[in-house]
């Protein structure tokens, strides 16, 4: 059985490199695939063109989505994703340089599962990976993504 794929939608090569290194150092073993703009993200998720082979390009379990991308921005990609019945369960973490309250509110209103601001310093990317890894572990441990998991303490 293949490990769940993490799809990164990011147009900045330096950020992609830092993310890859941080994921490696954070011991995140999931396969990672990168798309460089919003149109390519949609094509991948929709299985269009070269992405039609789902064995080679499986649907991701987690999407790390930049907001500021060419062709289609992250908001347009997020809007498209949430309109697709087959992608309702896709976890989307917005990962961007913007810390604008308007962007944060809009991303959550459009269905983002989390919003993270990219760190300015390279070494801070490791902290970001810990947050992603923690989210990822929570995600994969959830018994049912549609039903909130509530633990009760027995006294």
What CATH number is associated with residue 58? 3.40.50.2300
Tell me the pLDDT band of 43, cut-offs 50, 70 and 90.
very high
Structural domain boundaries enclosing 57: 6-141
* Residue 144 Rama label (left phi>0; alpha psi -120 to 50; beta): beta
- Does any domain span residue 1? no
- How many independent structural domains does the chain possess? 1
- Does any domain span residue 78? yes
| Global model pTM greater than 0.85 | no
- Does any domain span residue 150? no
- Does any domain span residue 152? no
- Does any domain span residue 146? no
DSSP conformation class of 27: T
pLDDT value for 117: 85
Quote the mean pLDDT of the chain.
Answer: 80
- Does any domain span residue 147? no
- Does any domain span residue 19? yes
**Average pLDDT for residues 116-134, to the nearest whole number?**
68
> How far from the centroid of its chain's Cα atoms is residue 23's Cα?
13
Exposed e or buried b per residue across 34-43, where buried means at least 16 C-beta atoms within 10 angstroms of its C-beta: bbbbbbbbbb
């Amino acid at each position: 059985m293949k490990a769940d794929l993490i799809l990164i939608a990011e147009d900045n090569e330096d950020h992609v490199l830092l993310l890859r290194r941080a994921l490696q150092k954070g011991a995140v073993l999931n396969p990672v695939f990168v798309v460089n703009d919003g149109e390519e993200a949609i094509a991948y998720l929709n299985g269009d063109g070269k992405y039609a082979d789902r064995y080679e390009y499986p649907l991701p379990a987690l999407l790390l989505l930049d907001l500021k991308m060419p062709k289609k921005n992250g908001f347009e990609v997020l809007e498209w994703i949430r309109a697709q019945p087959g992608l309702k369960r896709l976890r989307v973490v917005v990962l961007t340089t913007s810390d604008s309250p308007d962007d944060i509110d809009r991303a959550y209103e459009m269905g983002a599962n989390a919003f993270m601001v990219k760190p300015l310093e390279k070494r801070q990317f490791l902290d970001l990976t810990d947050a992603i890894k923690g989210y990822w572990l929570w995600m994969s441990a959830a018994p049912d993504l549609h039903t909130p998991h509530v633990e009760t303490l027995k006294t």
